[in-house]
Amino acid sequence: MSAITLRLPDDKHQRLKNLAEQRGVSINQLLNDATTSLLADFDAEVRFRIRAERGYGKAERGIELLKKAMAD
């Protein structure tokens, strides 16, 4: 596990502290949860872009398959 130093304005630190207390977690856990969410969003975007690139120029075939699936 790694440790990082994060410099925040005092007011932002206090707001994070209040939020963490309200949720019953530490500031560390709050930031860990936030970064997990951000990374999940990033990973989903990367997967989407890879799939989009693989399907580039194949829209007509995709529409044909959708129509076929809807007919069943």
Secondary structure (DSSP) of 21-66? HHHTS-HHHHHHHHHHHHHHHHHHHHHHHHHHHHHTT-HHHHHHHH
* In the chain, domain spans: 21-71
Residues whose CB falls within 8 Å of the CB of residue 27, separated by 6 or more in sequence, listed in order: 16, 17, 20
Position 50 scores a pLDDT of: 92
Confidence of residue 33 (pLDDT cuts 50, 70, 90): very high
Give the integer Cα–Cα distance in Å for 19 and 55.
Answer: 43
Residue with tokens 């949860």: 33
Statement: residue 11 has pLDDT above 80: yes
Position 71 scores a pLDDT of: 87
How much is the pTM? Answer: 0.69
Q: What is the mean pLDDT of residues 12-40?
A: 97
Position 72 scores a pLDDT of: 67
